[in-house]
Amino acid sequence: MFSDRYNPREAEPKWQKAWDAAQSFKAEDGGGKPKYYVLEMFPYPSGRIHMGHVRNYAMGDVVARYKRALGMNVLHPMGWDAFGMPAENAAMQNGSHPAKWTYENIATMRSQLKSMGLSIDWSRELATCDPSYYRHQQKMFLDFLGAGLAYRKRAKVNWDPVDQTVLANEQVIDGRGWRSGAVVEQRELTQWFLRITDYAQDLLDALETLDQWPEKVRLMQKNWIGRSEGMLVRFELNGSEARELDVFTTRPDTLFGAKFLAVAPDHPLAREAAQRDPSVAAFIEDCKRTGTSAAAIETLEKKGVDTGVRAAHPFDPDWRLPVYVANFVLMEYGAGAIFGCPAHDQRDLDFANAYHLGATVVVCPAGQDPATAQVSDIAFDGDGVLINSGFLNGLTVAQAQEEVAKRLETDTLFGKPRGERRVSYKLRDWGISRQRYWGCPIPVIHCDDCGTVPVPDSQLPVALPDDVSFDRPGNPLERHPTWKNVTCPECGKPARRETDTMDTFVDSSWYFARFTDPHNETAPTSRAVADHWLPVDQYIGGIEHAVLHLLYSRFFTRAMEKTAHLGVIEPFKGLFTQGMVVHETYKDESGAWLFPADVNVSTDGASKRATARDDGRPVSVGPIEKMSKSKRNIVDPDDIIRDYGADTARLFMLSDSPPDRDVIWSEEGVQGAARFVQQIWRLVGSMSAVASPCGTQPGSLDEVAALEFRKTAHRRAQKVGEHLERLRFNTAVAEIRKLANELGALLQRIEEPPSAQMSVAIREAAEMLVKLFAPMMPHLAEECWRALGHDAMLVSAAWPQVDPELASDDAITIPVQVNGKKRAELIVPADIDNGKLEAEALQNEAVQKALEGRMVRKVIIVPRRIVNVVV
RNA sequence: GCGGACGUGGCGAAACUGGUAGACGCAAGGGACUUAAAAUCCCUCGGGGCUUCCCGUGCGGGUUCGAUCCCCGCCGUCCGCACCA
């Protein structure tokens, strides 16, 4: 019955078909079982799956299969993040329609994923580019519009003059468009925005509740939201059409150190000054040309120009401060204007030094003489005592802030308080307009008479036209002959359709909700079903979405809750961010990158040699880096599955490194995993040869050797469960390997033929082993299960029941230390009392020797852990 | 500049809330089987004395009976944000 070698090429497709036929992974909306929703970030259909996908989906599949075996009703779906620029780029390059390109890629990648043996409910598959998906997104956009969560405004955006589209910030690399390489311009355009800032505080506060998220991601979101507390201070102006200027500050305590005010180049006050003064206009023009890349900012000098306007100090109407336009003030943050206190802010100091504006110290650091305190090049931003500050003198920074706040709240200017406490956020509203074809059309119509009119529900979806050309850059929807020409739904006159489409991050902001009811034709979700499944219990994906996708989704869920589509506000209860798959790089003498498949690597002793497979030319082995097409350090999952099988690939992806860290793909590593697959197969084969018949259960055993099998299996099963609960796949695998090694060793020692008790114990141990590795290597597990005599599939079997009695050791090894140094080991009963343990430790020969007759001062006993004798 | 994470054998790593440092694997070396190879099996594998000992978790200090783990100060690597008032 058992062949020597396990053949994944035969077994894997066979079991995949069997699971499919039995609909083993279909999630039921209801029933008595507790629900568990496990989801991996859905892929972009770029062409083929890569090793990162294999790792991501292998992890999710282990969780799904494990939870299923624990008796939970598991939802584990898959879909496609199918809109986006690469489809249009492909269309421009080789003329194929984005839809055709996308759906062909989906077909390829679907079959690749299926060959991995993932326990996915494929009946719920969705693609975001399908009108049956995006029609609901359009409906929700209109709901958001009605609820005030979507709006249109003119805003500064990154404009790629070659591709003629807006680019997201992350698509601008060192000031250039990532595809065209053209220098990106700042343009003012009218764009659609989602009001994520409405939820800034809530998104921040609720991070505290996400205790199953990595600390790192929560911190990144916190920094991104960027809350800071301060004051809005109103300054009376002189010499401007505006009579006052609002300024945001987090340091109102330093107001007596003010030397100037400064506004952003695009501040209304700057524009007004530009009309009066050509030098101001020239400066503003200059600012527009400056890049926004990190490198540009690093080297940028603080520059500004005096507007001629003067502002009165809020605490002294005779104290006049010059108002500058400055290149380091941002219109988007705070009030777009600041007051400069050079002594206590580095940027203000740099600016003041450049324009000889002076610096008065108003916060004296502890231990410094107020009379001599001064600054030259380094501003002091620490705590201290206020000086040179009138009524604030002698107060601490915190006290002074409170005092200033009280004073400004009660003082008035033009009948309103001079200042108010204000919380400011870095988070900006989410600009979702894209001048692109392959995205979800924004369902509005522009009418000269009626303005912006929502497309009526009855006309949804606003589908993309098929007959478009990509022979020129720009948006094909804009130049389509008829698509944008419509009649106004309100007045019936000719009107224009919105030709912008939505950012693809909108598509991915609610797909997890759609999976709960993917075929609903009338609504994005149905409340009862969505409320049952959501939130996602375990979400798994890359750290690169720490802010973007994960923050957008948190906002979108809140917006869907507000518009009555959902009953939850947090989409992902547990989040796990997995590491990347990395690989050595290979380069030949001409500097060309080589694929690992085209390189022979051999080891002579400790040194490593690499040559090209085709002509044997020498190849240098480069640093280990993230797998990327450009460096060719990629391994095709198809090749691995063909050569080794999916189980081997899955096992290796799970076993070598902790799941949140990078894993190095290596040929040796895969071979090690493949060896283990065969080892398991042989082990289960030899165990089944001596095991009792299928269905027999161990009763009470008295044979020590048989009991040893049971104890070993139960002990390891407990450990594996603990590791899986914590998503520690690498240590779970190690535990399974230990079990296999131990069972192999025990099997060597049994007498032939085995006793009845022994046979039953062996059956139990073999079945437990198979169940334990089934989440990781499901095909091998089914094949072993069948070989053990089962007719039913393992996929519907329960996780092993661990008997705590068997799992706990009855004898344990306890180290004995003398003054913290280990001197002996005692093997004692697990339940030994401290007195006996102490006596036994002190009697021990090695301990006695180490004591050298010295007086024992104290004996510390940590039960089940250690004995430390202090002399 | 700000914020964060991490530094353990030749390599990937393990060590639960302070309690035997190096589990499990990879590589390497030695051996068995074989005509031979592959596969498989056995042994060695942090360093040094090599029997019972000493040193060792980036470096320096501290707390503790006891520190990879906690505290302080350095050094290094990686990541995120970045003129955020």
pLDDT tens track for A528-554: 999 999 999 999 999 888 888 999 999
A364 in the Ramachandran plot: left (φ > 0), alpha (ψ -120 to 50) or beta? beta
Q: Which of A391, A490, A495 is nearest to A447 (CA)?
A: A495
Confidence band (pLDDT; 50, 70, 90) for A168? low
Residue nearest to nucleotide B40 (CA to C1'): A679
What pLDDT sits at residue A377?
A: 84
The nucleotide whose C1' lies nearest the CA of A850 is B52
CB A857 under 7 Å to nucleic chain B: no
Rounded Cα–Cα distance for residues A622 and A633 (Å): 10
Structure tokens that stand for A342 in this block: 């050079």
Evaluate the omega torsion of the peptide bond into residue A461 and state whether it is cis, within 30 degrees of 0.
Answer: yes
Q: Running DSSP on this structure, what letter comes out for residue A468?
A: -
User: Which one is predicted more confidently, A640 or A186?
Assistant: A640
Residue with tokens 């096992």: A651
CA–CA distances in Å: residue A370 to residues A316, A359, A360, A373, A393: 23, 14, 11, 5, 11
> Comparing C-alpha atoms, which of A504, A549, A439, A430 is closest to residue A41?
A549
A825 Cβ nearer than 7 Å to chain B strand: yes
Beta-strand runs (E) in A135-263: 150-160, 165-167, 172-173, 176-177, 185-194, 228-238, 244-249, 260-263
Q: Is the shortest CB-to-strand distance from A119 to strand B under 7 Å?
A: no
- Segment A587-594 shows an average pLDDT of 88
Q: What is the pLDDT of residue A838?
A: 86
Determine whether the distance from the CB of A413 to the nearest atom of strand B is below 7 Å.
no
CA of A283 to C1' of B4 (A): 38
Contact A233, A472 (CB under 8 A): no
- The pLDDT, as a whole number, for residue A296 is 57
* Res. A605: pLDDT tops 60: no
Determine the Cα–Cα distance for residues A172 and A166; give it in Å rounded to an integer: 10
pLDDT mean across residues, chain A: 91
| pLDDT tier for residue A159 given thresholds of 50, 70 and 90 | confident
Helix axes A667-690, A756-773, angle to 10 degrees: 150
Residue A581 is predicted with a pLDDT of: 92
User: CA at A817, C1' at B16: how many angstroms apart?
Assistant: 22
Nucleic acid strand B within 7 Å of A156 CB: no
Q: Report d(CA A261, CA A372) in Å as an integer.
A: 26
Mean pLDDT value across residues A848-858 = 80
Question: Shortest CA distance to A510 belongs to which of A463, A571, A457?
Answer: A571
Question: Where does residue A67 rank: exposed (0-12), middle (13-18), buried (19+ CB within 10 A)?
Answer: buried
* Nucleotides on chain B within 7 angstroms of protein Cβ: 3-5, 11-15, 19-21, 23-29, 39-42, 52-55, 65-67, 79-85
How many Å from the CA of A657 to C1' of B8? 15
Encode A620-653 in three state secondary structure: EEEEEEECCCCCCCCCCHHHHHHHHCHHHHHHHH
- Read off φ and ψ for residue A687, nearest 5 degrees: -70, -40
Using alpha carbons, select from A493, A552, A454 the residue that is nearest to residue A147: A454
For A316-354, the three-class secondary structure string (H helix, E strand, C coil) is EEEEEEEEEEECCCCCCCCCCEEEECHHHCHHHHHHHHH
Complex confidence, ipTM: 0.95
Give yes or no for a contact between A433 and A500, defined as CB atoms under 8 angstroms apart.
yes
Residue A191 (CA) to nucleotide B63 (C1'), in angstroms, measures 60
| Banded model confidence at residue A293, pLDDT cuts 50, 70, 90 | very low
What is the spatial distance between Cα A212 and Cα A574, in angstroms, rounded to a whole number?
5
| Residues β-bridged to residue A386 | A363
| pLDDT tens-digit series, residues A791-827 | 999 999 999 999 988 888 777 888 888 888 888 888 8
Tokens representing residue A174 in the block: 């060192």
From the CB of residue A840, how many other CB atoms can be counted at a distance below 10 Å? 16
Average pLDDT over residues A639-664: 94
Q: Provide, in whole angstroms, the distance separating residue A870's CA from nucleotide B64's C1'.
A: 13
Given a cut of 80, whether residue A294 has pLDDT beyond it is no
> Is it the case that residue A860 has pLDDT exceeding 60?
yes
Report the C-alpha gap between A659 and A728 in whole angstroms. 7
Strand B: which of residues 781-820 in chain A lie with Cβ below 7 A? 813, 815, 817, 819-820
Compute chain A's Rg from CA coordinates.
Answer: 34
Minimum CA–C1' distance nucleotide for A340: B85
Q: How far is the CA of A342 from the C1' of B74 (A)?
A: 32
Half-sphere exposure of A573 (CA within 13 A, CB side): 10
Please tell me which residue, A365 or A460, carries the higher pLDDT value.
A460
Structure tokens at A350: 């740099």
Cβ neighbors of A179 (< 8 A, separation 6 or more) are A85, A89, A160, A163, A171
Q: Which residue has the higher pLDDT, A605 or A273?
A: A273
Q: How far apart are CA A819 and CA A687, in angstroms?
A: 48
Half-sphere exposure of A272 (CA within 13 A, CB side): 15
- Residue A298 has what pLDDT? 58
Query: How distant is C1' of B73 from CA of A366, in Å?
Result: 22
A829 upstream amide cis, omega within 30 of 0 = no
Asked if A221 CB < 7 A from strand B, the reply is: no
Task: Measure CA A84 to chain center.
Answer: 20
Per-residue confidence at A1, pLDDT binned at 50, 70, 90? Answer: very low
| pLDDT tens per residue, range A244-289 | 999 999 999 999 999 999 999 989 999 999 999 999 999 998 887 7
Q: Residue A28 pLDDT > 80, yes or no?
A: yes
- Say what the pLDDT of residue A171 is: 64
Residues A826-843: pLDDT tens digits? 888 888 888 888 888 888
Per-residue pLDDT reduced to its tens digit, A469-489: 888 878 899 999 999 999 999
Residue A276 burial by CB count (10 A; 0-12/13-18/19+): exposed, middle or buried?
middle
Alpha carbons A201 and A226: distance in angstroms, whole number? 10
Nearest to A6 by CA among A550, A582, A680, A775: A680
Spell out which residues of A between 255 and 314 contact strand B, using CB within 7 Å: 264, 290, 292, 294, 297-298, 300, 302
Least confident of A536-540, A604-608, A709-713, A842-846: A604-608
**Closest nucleotide to A428: CA versus each C1':** B84
Q: Is the pLDDT of residue A163 over 90?
A: no
* Neighbour count for residue A707 (Cβ, 10 Å): 17
Cis peptide before A317 (omega within 30 of 0): no
Q: How far apart are CA A688 and CA A409, in angstroms?
A: 83
Protein CA at A675 to nucleotide C1' at B32, angstroms: 20
Q: Find the Cα–Cα–Cα–Cα dihedral A185, A187, A193, A195, rounded to 10°.
A: 90
* Nucleic strand B contact set for A 529-568 (CB, < 7 Å): 543, 546-547
pLDDT digits (tens, 9 = 90+) for A364-394: 887 788 888 888 888 888 888 999 999 999 9
